[in-house]
Amino acid sequence: MYGLAALPERWSGITDVTAGDNSWDEVTGYQAGPGYDLASGLGTIDGARFVHALAGR
């Protein structure tokens, strides 16, 4: 996953989430930012692209 995340989004299928947070109700969460973060991890997956990247196609 981390190797794929280093590739451009159009090849890896991993879309970096750079805005927002994971707060809920009155619980303060973490802020999203470029790269890995505690709010969204590596980001979100574009399934069609990610499966091809994972398979090496």
Tens-digit pLDDT profile for residues 4-49: 888 999 899 999 999 999 999 999 999 999 999 999 999 999 999 9
Is 1 a residue whose pLDDT tops 90? Answer: no
Cβ pair 49, 12 in contact under 8 A: yes
Kindly indicate the confidence band of residue 2, based on its pLDDT and cuts at 50, 70 and 90.
confident
Residue 44's DSSP bridge partners are: 15
Total number of domains constituting the chain: 1
Is 55 a residue whose pLDDT tops 80? Answer: yes
Q: Enter the pTM of the model.
A: 0.77
Q: Which domain holds residue 17?
A: 2-55
Rounded Cα distance, 2 and 45, in Å: 13
Helix (H, G, I), strand (E, B) or coil at 16: coil
